[in-house]
Structure 1
């Protein structure tokens, strides 16, 4: 390899991490672009370039997403979690213990994002029911779900990556529960910190101002989003040009910044020919306006006036109590939904995804980190963690609830959901138990075990179809992982890996292995606040292994320290998808994550640097 070609992989790697930190481009696109460049300029052969697709880690990670989908669909987490919540009634401390330990336990087998997606609505509902602020519990929920990944060797991609490094270098791979002692220590340390310092560290937002019920009522949501000031009743006379027009053709959100929420229409008894009571209709995209329809619209007074003049409409008196009945009743409801990280809706507009056409519901406002957006909703680009206030028929809100890979419904639509296959929960539990037993006793290779569990989830109907299985896989993480393999291979091939290892050895000198643990912990910790834990672990794990071997230390404790640090993406909202999910729901700001996150990182760092060598000697 020439001097020029030796520097090219290092330059590409620096560019890739710079773009990761910049954050304006998807991580998988950046990594995929680097992979293509390595192949086109001839640094790697095609087989080296595509090796990540056949790596067992890739198959295991994709299969675990499918296993998680089966658990999610069948309500297995809720079935386990709800009985524990009864024990917590009347005590904030008990509620915190239940939330963190439950999130941590399930985090050992499911993705942390999936855990938060399942538990977030339940935690919010429980907190509000107990007259407590959800902001006290959502950051601990997000952090505990990440720390739970340290309980098993398949709990996080980072664990799988360090295991791959050991296997590649002819070391015995870590057993399924090898990391469990360290995982328990970190989870308990986090729990104790929250229990004894939580009142000082965690914010207390006044979100629990409800008197009864499971969730915020429609009236409370409307008040929070300042909906009432923008509601108007308009009647459509027979001579209006609006008569006969299809709602979707008018493009009112674009042309007038107005959303039609509901249509009140006179119904006629066909047999008697007598006028009967009015019927309230959801403002569906294909709805055609009739003479004498009364429409409930949402928008600024100036825009409503313009619409009234243009279409010769008549204003009707506004009665707030009457509107409250229309916002929520046995047929219609209002709730919040959260945009999931990595969803298909990210960086799309409501118009792009045809939200009204798809779900037959209206979006009234967007809450983005405490800022309420009510104008130009149709063209507003959606971001992860955005909370959307929606209104529509309960049956359509339930349809949204089923779209779990893209959004989370924070409110409860009905007591029972046809979309949750609760009858299959025992089957899903049996599959998970079988997977754990096979992994724990290493009966067959890990990749076969996890792939078999995913296969069983599909054929038993816990995951409804292969199409759903593919939808539930987080392809951004998979492609990022696949693309990082050749990038790191090129970095090693260029000599960059050896050079960075030498620099670290020079920094450590004769200060001993604990100094090495501390340095790698800090390096990984800083990196994971800005870059995916997959990318950081892929970069630091080979370096950590090389330094440990060169300094005659066992690489196992060094690599374990790296994967612990990679699980602590706590100090900023953008550090992990779980942080992004709870930010809007808990009404947090950047300072809230920094205060709790940094304190937890320091405490856990001091503990694991001392305890890791007790379980994995140097």
Structure 2
């Protein structure tokens, strides 16, 4: 068996080299591992593919659906908007909720998805406040990485640790078993960046020239530089009811939308329709010439708030803006905007027309020519519909804000109820696997995601990676490799010193996680850690939690996790930036593991 164990060790080393090279997909590597174990006879074919039948696979698939629900209903974006509102331009007040918010949200959905959602939010905050985005992006990504230390579903690797503990003792980890440890590390992370870490990431202020700009803002500048149409947000500051409301409606330039604050503080945005009621405090989007807007805003009881383009994210779920070009063979050639009755026909408002490089004045009565460009506004569904009329209109480029729109924002509270119900029933004793499946089913039945969207959200490469790496742990155990590693660690650390063995496991896990994926590392190391504790006659719980914490401690390398890799380009980071902030963070987590875990979870 020793020869087989040696072969498994060589296979682990080769797996690490292939993953570190970034030249072979991780899921393909996992399949290579699986096939190799079967062809060499170390595992039977049934044992080699047994990972695909593991409960962790169906649970992770369900969690992808739950994460999609949170994304499509706007739960994640709502968190980002609250951060911008509460931060009030102060760097630390922005950094803290970004870090904590990413950690908390990542604890119940994909942390990679959280970072992807938060990046445009952080970039917008940086643009609006002129704060260097690099000083916000890294704390946010580290917070998302720490989410794996907060809940059982924070990362798929945690489930592997729980399974290893259950197999050995019959008791899996609870949903919040180790949350106290994660919260302490999170608090230390916030303090580190508040007082020292952010100063290692460049100057506080940036000139903004290298920040990505909103495509819609560029549209606005391209047209309004010539004084054609303006799109402005105004607030009704006096009572506009009954006859006054009708008079307001008739005297206003073209009205596009209304946003009204509800009794619970939630904003409800609606596209304009004839006879719409107006109340004090309503925000109204109007469009017209500069003279029309100026004259209208001078009326009593109307307060000009800002340009619509400066506040577009607040309206994004209802009102979008896009530039389209008239197809050279379009059926609308030779007709005017008025002839087409554009608003009633397409459900869109034409804001401007540009011919060549010049905007056209009084464009409503101008006959359309081939290659004319229209700036149109309306519901995203309507904009998507006009996009499908490819024989008449050609979408030149979608605005950046299109990716930020939330298609099912009206079902946000349903998503929140499903999420908290999933957590609640798992805390009440229901199997976390069953709880996740029920949540995924509820997401589909309530319409927060469609069946097709649910299936598309499941990342098969991640499932294949997990299923392919699980047999490697089985092979280690079957060939005696696990016992060899356990005995070696105990021999180095001392059989009477479980704390030292625990710390050795921490270092081993963290080192492997910089090369392998977080999930692959935990799948591999968790059974070793549990067996080491059992062979020493001590509780395996602190050993398992130390390994779990180490799996989410890949701070010092930009390629340790997609959660960190995602912010490299937007933040303009270099490898040294991760060393400067990552090494102190690693020491923080190591100290927590060595001194705190045995106190909270005695051996």
**TM-score, normalized by length of structure 1?**
0.68
Contact 2:131 2:204 in 1 (8 A): no
Q: How does 1:363-382 map to 2 (within 5 A)?
A: none
How many residue pairs align between the two structures? 463
| Displacement after TM superposition at 1:451 (Å) | 0.8
Alignment of 1:476 with 2:467, yes or no, is no
Q: How does 1:331-350 map to 2 (within 5 A)?
A: none
Q: Which of 437, 442, 450 in structure 1 is aligned with 2:436?
A: 450
| Displacement after TM superposition at 1:81 (Å) | 3.4
- Shift in CA distance, 211/102, structure 1 to aligned 2, threshold 3 Å: same
Alignment of 1:441 with 2:428, yes or no, is yes
Q: Which residue of 2 aligns with 1:10?
A: 9
- Shift in CA distance, 101/140, structure 1 to aligned 2, threshold 3 Å: same
Q: How does 1:317-466 map to 2 (within 5 A)?
A: 393=395, 397=398, 411-413=400-402, 417=405, 420-442=407-429, 444-465=430-451
For the residues of structure 2 that align with 1:588 and 1:359, how far apart are their CA atoms? 42
For the residues of structure 2 that align with 1:185 and 1:130, how far apart are their CA atoms? 30
Q: Which residue of 2 aligns with 1:354?
A: none
- Shift in CA distance, 511/127, structure 1 to aligned 2, threshold 3 Å: farther
Aligned CA RMSD, in angstroms, stands at 3.5
Contact 1:135 1:205 in 2 (8 A): no
Q: Which of 560, 579, 583 in structure 2 is aligned with 1:594?
A: 579
For the residues of structure 1 that align with 2:84 and 2:21, how far apart are their CA atoms? 41
| Displacement after TM superposition at 1:511 (Å) | 6.6
Alignment of 1:158 with 2:157, yes or no, is yes
- Shift in CA distance, 583/173, structure 1 to aligned 2, threshold 3 Å: same
- Shift in CA distance, 511/128, structure 1 to aligned 2, threshold 3 Å: farther
Q: How does 1:62-461 map to 2 (within 5 A)?
A: 62-204=61-203, 207-209=206-208, 215=214, 269=334, 279=355, 393=395, 397=398, 411-413=400-402, 417=405, 420-442=407-429, 444-461=430-447
- Shift in CA distance, 210/39, structure 1 to aligned 2, threshold 3 Å: closer
Q: Which residue of 1 aligns with 2:600?
A: 615
Q: Which residue of 2 aligns with 1:485?
A: 470
Q: Deviations over 1:381-417 (max 9, x none)?
A: xxxxxxxxxxx948x626xxxxxxxxxxxx4249x83
Contact 1:525 1:569 in 2 (8 A): yes
Provide the secondary structure at the position in 2 that maps to 1:574: coil
For the residues of structure 1 that align with 2:95 and 2:175, how far apart are their CA atoms? 28
| Displacement after TM superposition at 1:8 (Å) | 3.3
| Displacement after TM superposition at 1:68 (Å) | 0.3
| Displacement after TM superposition at 1:556 (Å) | 0.7
| Displacement after TM superposition at 1:50 (Å) | 2.2
- Shift in CA distance, 463/511, structure 1 to aligned 2, threshold 3 Å: same
**TM-score, normalized by length of structure 2?**
0.70
| Displacement after TM superposition at 1:552 (Å) | 2.2
Return 5+ residue gaps in structure 2 as ranges: 222-323, 337-352, 358-368, 378-386
Q: Deviations over 1:354-407 (max 9, x none)?
A: xxx9999xxxxxxxxxxxxxxxxxxxxxxxxxxxxxxx948x626xxxxxxxxx
Contact 1:190 1:604 in 2 (8 A): no
- Shift in CA distance, 140/38, structure 1 to aligned 2, threshold 3 Å: same
Q: Deviations over 1:465-524 (max 9, x none)?
A: 2x3222212222211110112122112111111111111111102572222222222111
Contact 1:175 1:440 in 2 (8 A): yes
Return 5+ residue gaps in structure 1 as ranges: 223-260, 272-276, 282-291, 296-325, 332-356, 361-391, 399-410
| Displacement after TM superposition at 1:209 (Å) | 2.5
Contact 2:42 2:475 in 1 (8 A): yes
For the residues of structure 2 that align with 1:568 and 1:329, how far apart are their CA atoms? 48
For the residues of structure 1 that align with 2:127 and 2:588, how far apart are their CA atoms? 30
> Greater CA radius of gyration, 1 or 2?
2
Q: Deviations over 1:166-202 (max 9, x none)?
A: 1111342121111110110111111110001024322
Q: Which residue of 2 aligns with 1:576?
A: 561
- Shift in CA distance, 100/208, structure 1 to aligned 2, threshold 3 Å: farther
Alignment of 1:546 with 2:531, yes or no, is yes
For the residues of structure 2 that align with 1:113 and 1:42, how far apart are their CA atoms? 37
Q: Which of 504, 510, 517 in structure 1 is aligned with 2:502?
A: 517
Q: Deviations over 1:238-277 (max 9, x none)?
A: xxxxxxxxxxxxxxxxxxxxxxx98997996369xxxxx8
- Shift in CA distance, 452/135, structure 1 to aligned 2, threshold 3 Å: same
Q: Which residue of 2 aligns with 1:508?
A: 493
Provide the secondary structure at the position in 2 that maps to 1:462: coil
For the residues of structure 2 that align with 1:359 and 1:546, how far apart are their CA atoms? 63
For the residues of structure 2 that align with 1:43 and 1:27, how far apart are their CA atoms? 22
For the residues of structure 2 that align with 1:359 and 1:558, how far apart are their CA atoms? 61
Contact 2:503 2:593 in 1 (8 A): no
Q: Which is worse superposed, 427-436 or 19-28? A: 19-28
Q: Which residue of 1 aligns with 2:27?
A: 28
- Shift in CA distance, 95/189, structure 1 to aligned 2, threshold 3 Å: same
Provide the secondary structure at the position in 2 that maps to 1:530: coil
For the residues of structure 2 that align with 1:542 and 1:195, how far apart are their CA atoms? 37
| Displacement after TM superposition at 1:208 (Å) | 4.5
Q: Which residue of 2 aligns with 1:603?
A: 588
Provide the secondary structure at the position in 2 that maps to 1:137: helix
For the residues of structure 1 that align with 2:100 and 2:389, how far apart are their CA atoms? 36
- Shift in CA distance, 553/85, structure 1 to aligned 2, threshold 3 Å: same
